[in-house]
Amino acid sequence: MRLPVQLRPVLFIVVLLVFWQIAVSSHPGQLLPGPWGVVLGIADLIRHGLLLKYVVASLFRVTWGFALAAILAIPLGLTLGWYRRGEMAFYPLLQIFRPISPLAWIPIAILWFGVGDLAAIFLIFVGCFFPLLLTAMSAVHNIPTVYINAGRNFGLSTADFVSRVLYPAVGPQLIVGMRITLGIAWLVVVAAEMIAVNSGLGFLIIDARNAGNRYDLVVAGMVIIGTIGLLLDFGMRSLERVKSFRWGYSED
């Protein structure tokens, strides 16, 4: 089939959607919606003003949790990466804390912050802190020694060295790590909202099911979650393309 290259994935998606619709229509009375049902569900949410409200709530929590984690974890990670002994000191602890799912922190989050926004933000903070810390540490390790030596050779003060050599050198890797961690944050916020709060897209999914088996809204919620997650990812990728960071990819 001589189809223009850009259209082929679109065609593939259309085919999948058709299959989905057929599968749903040929099983009347089952719970899950077809693509059209999802569209109607989204329209429903917009009509009730819920869509915007929930999206904003989720984004709000992600922004705060991610920002707090970044502000704390990145400088700390860079410092630990630089000072060998610091890293040695914290490494085993980090390796034990890292595999603990942010959701496992829920009881502690609720204990400290109660049920609500703060708990959700805390969970996102926890979910982002360790990946960002480790990324920053790794970024410092990967600075080519030649840059460090050049900086020292030119007699830079510590502050100068940090701003003129260290930060630009770790920039590309940090941005990539931040993009990946933002993706994690988005996953965590949805999960956190399903358990610990009363608004947001995650809550929408759980609530739509619990209060009446509205699976059209459930799947609509999933679609919206996927779309926003994708947009966040694209946003970060375009940040990566900013000229002053591009050098980090010239080795490709």
- Please tell me whether residue 225 binds other proteins under the rule CB under 8 A: yes
Distances (CA, A) of 76 to 133, 140, 220: 7, 11, 40
Shortest distance in whole angstroms from residue 251 CB to other proteins: 8
Site string for other proteins, 82-121 (x = CB under 8 A): xxxx--xxxxxx-xxxxxxxxxxxxxx-xx----------
Q: Which is nearer to other proteins, 47 or 85 (CB)?
A: 85
CA distance 210 to 218: 10
Q: Please, which of residues 190-209 interact with other proteins by CB under 8 A?
A: 190-191, 194-195, 202, 205-206, 209
Shortest distance in whole angstroms from residue 49 CB to other proteins: 22
Shortest distance in whole angstroms from residue 97 CB to other proteins: 6
Q: Which of 65, 172, 221, 248 binds other proteins (CB under 8 A)?
A: 221
Q: Are 148 and 165 in contact (CB under 8 A)?
A: yes
Q: Residue numbers of the site for other proteins (CB under 8 A)? A: 5, 8-9, 11-13, 16, 31-32, 82-85, 88-93, 95-108, 110-111, 142, 183, 186-188, 190-191, 194-195, 202, 205-206, 209, 215, 218-219, 221-222, 225-230, 232-233
